């Protein structure tokens, strides 16, 4: 049972924008950086965003991250068919003394 809540699915047409929310609490998102991971079908997750809004080398600027209070958001602009994947947020929970993941969101390109 995850402590971070994400919508099960989001969808949009190619070229459009989607946002994925990640809702937590003061013991996790409220006081820690947030990371985002992309998991393409049948593969291991891949780091997409770290320190809430930074992109690793090789990740296009179509992907962005932000945070407000105890919620974080991943944005994907210029949606492409290759973006169809599951997306997870992650952070540290100081009450649990454990890393935690969001429930995951499936992105569908219509």
Partner 1 sequence: QVQLQESGPGLVKPSQTLSLTCTVSGGSVSSGSYYWSWIRQPAGKGLEWIGRVYTRGSTNYNPSLKSRLTVSRDTSKNQFSLKLSSVTAADTAVYYCAREREWEPTIDYWGQGTLVTVSS
Where do contacts with partner 1 occur on this chain (CB under 8 A)? 2, 32-35, 37, 43-47, 50-51, 56, 88, 90-92, 96-104
With 0-12 / 13-18 / 19 or more C-beta atoms within 10 angstroms meaning exposed / middle / buried, residue 49 is buried
- CB closer to partner 1, 17 vs 45: 45
- CB closer to partner 1, 13 vs 41: 41
- CB closer to partner 1, 42 vs 82: 42
Shortest distance in whole angstroms from residue 108 CB to partner 1: 16
Shortest distance in whole angstroms from residue 45 CB to partner 1: 6
Phi-psi region of 104 (alpha: psi -120 to 50; beta: other; left: phi over 0): left
Contacts of 61 (CB under 8 A, 6+ apart): 55
Shortest distance in whole angstroms from residue 4 CB to partner 1: 10
Please state, in angstroms and as integers, the Cα–Cα distance from residue 49 to each residue in 12, 43, 56, 98, following that order.
21, 18, 7, 20
């Amino acid at each position: 049972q995850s402590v971070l809540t994400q919508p099960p699915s989001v969808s949009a047409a190619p070229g459009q924008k989607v946002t994925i929310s990640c809702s937590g609490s003061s013991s996790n998102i409220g006081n820690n950086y947030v990371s985002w991971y992309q998991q393409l079908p049948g593969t291991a997750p891949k780091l997409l965003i770290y320190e809430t809004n930074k992109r690793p080398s090789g990740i296009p600027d179509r992907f962005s991250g932000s945070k407000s209070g105890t919620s974080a958001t991943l944005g994907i602009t210029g949606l492409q068919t290759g973006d169809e994947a599951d997306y997870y947020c992650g952070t540290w929970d100081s009450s649990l003394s454990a890393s935690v993941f969001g429930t995951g969101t499936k992105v569908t390109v219509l």
